[in-house]
């Protein structure tokens, strides 16, 4: 079984167990609105994981070099910290809850989350057989500069940042936003710098030329 699918399946199992417990607990002690938000988010989160399973393509060659340096682990841990704090703050702590326009913020968060699914699917389809959770090089690796990658070099990491922003809005927690700034953004930037150095090493002038005509995350801006 592909490592990417293994990760998705494990994540789906853990998320299902965690949210089933949280939803059962929430129904007993918290308002119905909070429970509905939690369950709706669970459905979206699980659905996005299932979509990943079907979109990720099977590699056609073996990985010959890996320079991940735990960057994927750091991003996952940072994102989980934001998600867990956001949920606990929303249901229980309420220490750093954003009190104004909560329904509108939750709705905006759900919309952003749905947009990140579209962004991620588009990027995964463009990468195809060259997608890897780690910073890795396949035997017959080609530099992908098509689709979303025509204008931005890291659409998947942009999707990751937007996903964490969606967590913040859905659960109305500025404390979660603080964690995005302190944990997620540095983890993503660490990953970006590792990947850029790795691609420059293996694709040299091609990557230099590509970097000149593209941006990190936002087309034409940055």
**Within 10 Å of residue 124's Cβ, how many Cβ atoms?**
20
Structure tokens that stand for 140 in this block:
């017959």
For residues 157 and 148, the answer to whether their CB atoms sit within 8 Å is: no
CB atoms within 10 A of CB 79: 21
Do the beta carbons of residue 161 and residue 184 sit within 8 Å? yes
User: HEC profile for 53-120?
Assistant: HHHCCCCCCCEEEECCCCHHHHHHHHHHHHHHHHHHHHHHHCCCECCCCHHHHHHHHHHHHHHHHHHH
pLDDT at position 10: 76
Q: Residues 117, 51: contact at Cβ < 8 Å?
A: yes
Which pLDDT score, from 0 to 100, does residue 7 have? 67
pLDDT for res 179: 98
Tokens of 45: 């989160």
CATH topology of domain 3-212: 1.20.120
Report domain extents, the chain: 3-212
- Position 21 scores a pLDDT of 74
CB burial string 13-23: b at 16+ within 10 A, e below: eeeeeebeebe
Local structure of 216: helix, strand or coil: coil
Burial (0-12, 13-18, 19+ Cβ within 10 Å), 208 = exposed
Torsion sign over Cα 134, 138, 141, 146: negative
pLDDT means per 10 residues in the chain (222 residues)? 64 75 71 81 84 84 91 95 93 87 92 96 94 91 93 96 96 96 98 96 93 92 86
Backbone phi, psi, residue 218, to 5°: -115, 120
The answer to whether the CB of 113 falls within 8 A of the CB of 44 is: yes
pLDDT of residue 5: 64
């Amino acid at each position: 079984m592909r490592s990417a699918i293994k990760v998705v399946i494990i994540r789906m199992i853990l998320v299902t167990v965690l949210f089933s417990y949280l939803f059962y607990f929430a129904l007993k002690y918290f308002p119905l609105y909070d429970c509905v938000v939690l369950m709706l988010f669970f459905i979206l989160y699980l659905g996005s994981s299932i979509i990943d399973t079907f979109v990720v393509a099977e590699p056609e060659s073996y990985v010959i070099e890996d320079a991940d340096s735990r960057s994927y682990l750091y991003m996952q841990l940072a994102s989980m910290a934001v998600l867990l704090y956001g949920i606990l703050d929303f249901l229980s702590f309420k220490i750093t809850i954003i009190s104004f326009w909560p329904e509108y913020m939750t709705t905006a968060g759900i919309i952003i989350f749905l947009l990140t699914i579209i962004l991620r699917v588009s990027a995964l389809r463009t990468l195809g057989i060259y997608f890897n959770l780690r910073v890795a090089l396949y035997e017959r690796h080609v530099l992908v500069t098509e689709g979303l990658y025509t204008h931005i070099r890291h659409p998947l990491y942009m999707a990751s940042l937007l996903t964490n922003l969606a967590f913040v809005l859905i659960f109305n927690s500025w404390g979660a936003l603080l964690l995005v700034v302190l944990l997620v953004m540095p983890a993503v930037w660490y990953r970006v710098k590792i990947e850029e150095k790795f691609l420059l090493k293996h694709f040299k002038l091609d990557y230099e030329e590509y970097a000149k005509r593209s941006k990190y995350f936002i087309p034409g801006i940055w």
